[in-house]
Amino acid sequence: MKIVAIRSFIKHMALKKPYTIAYNTYSDVSIVFTEIQLANGAVGIGSASPAEDVVGESPIQTLANLESDIVQQLVGRDIRSFQKIIAEVQKHFPHLPGTQAALDIALHDAFGKWAGISIADFYGIQSGPLKTSVTIGIKNRVETLAEAAEYFSQGFNIFKIKTGLDVEEDIERILLLNEKYGNQISIRVDANQGYTLSKLTRFINATQHTGLELIEQPLPVGKETDLLLLDQAKRKKLAADESLHHAKAALDLATVNHPFGIYNIKLMKCGGLLGAREIAGIAKPAGIQLFWGCNDESIISITAALHIAYSCPHTQYLDLDGSFDLAEDLVKGGFEIKNGLMMINQQPGFGYEWI
């Protein structure tokens, strides 16, 4: 079945409410959408929301790449060779994971729709369904408790708390949440590179009785070896995020005394499902658990991440709440949420469609 057209566009989308992390505050996001039409009329849909400050690619660059002659020359190719096409895209656009991800997702979706199979079933479902965490940005204690109460009333009970600006305030917020909810909730923390080793140690010691599930990217990129000064039990709860873009980084971090016990895989960092599978393949023999994360993204890429997450037996954690923050989206379907559990609909491809 031949590809007959590839179309892409960018849309600036407001968030329901702004949120703050250790190094920025966000109130909107630019998302690039692409569609691949097949000769039978089926349309595969992909999207990209790369974080320029993390991967060095902006949505504007992504759109320009998707509109380039290199991509348009894919018209006429057979969708049955979609994985070969993705490998060629990776070669043509190295270190541009947003461009790779948009095409990777659209090609997977088009193939699944042509073949009449969900992508999760194509790769084989080996885990899930799992609950996703919901993210609370850096806020004062009153606002933190208020947002947690709102999410809790909606059936969510795993909170990921953004930290990294003031360690004492961070500790206070975690202790307050634990005091209010106890074992009714699970708490994760994302410091976004905001700590030094001494501040991290202070945070761990002060919150250890709360049963934190994990701490994401506590130190700046380049300081990973400092984490080896912590004992192995503490490192097992640390998740690599900004330190982990692609398979080579995954391999470098998977040393005998690896600094992270968890890998946070984001399609917008590793370039899509095939890049994610490479990282997952390195993590499994190293005994590293998988934690699937996201930026502020469309249902499109969130669903794609969910499909590939459920195809990995060592998937342990989901943080796929990025589409919840959007004031609007351009597709419907993909997955359902029930009491925090994320469930794919198992329709062909990724199971979403344009609104």
- One-letter amino acid identity for 12? H
Task: Give the chain's mean pLDDT.
Answer: 96
pLDDT at 151: 97
Q: Is the pLDDT of residue 238 over 90?
A: yes
Q: What is the pLDDT of residues 90-115, one digit of tens each?
A: 999 999 999 999 999 999 999 999 99
pLDDT at 253: 96
Q: Which domains does the chain have, with CATH numbers?
A: 3-116 (3.30.390.10), 121-354 (3.20.20.120)
User: b/e per residue, 70-106, with b = 16+ CB within 10 A?
Assistant: ebeeeeebebeebeebbebbbebbeebbbbbbbbbbb
Joined tokens for residue 17: 């409410």
Q: State residue 301 phi and psi, 5-degree precision.
A: -75, -25
Chain length of the chain: 355
Mean pLDDT of 43-58: 95
Residue 17's pLDDT band (cuts 50, 70, 90): confident
Q: Is the pLDDT of residue 26 over 90?
A: no
Please answer whether residues 268 and 248 qualify as being in contact, where contact means their C-beta atoms are separated by less than 8 angstroms. Answer: no
DSSP 3-state of 243: coil
Q: Which DSSP category does 208 fall into?
A: G
Q: Is the pLDDT of residue 20 over 80?
A: no
Q: What is the pLDDT of residues 288-345, one digit of tens each?
A: 999 999 999 999 999 999 999 999 999 999 999 999 989 999 999 999 999 899 999 9
Q: What is the pLDDT of residues 208-236, one digit of tens each?
A: 999 999 999 999 999 999 999 999 999 99
Of 304, 270, 344, which is closest to residue 54 (Cα–Cα)? 270
Kindly list the distances between the CA atom of residue 90 and the CA atoms of 3, 86, 180, 232, 302, in Å, as whole numbers in the listed order: 19, 6, 48, 35, 21
Beta bridge partners of 262: 239, 289
Residue 256's pLDDT band (cuts 50, 70, 90): confident
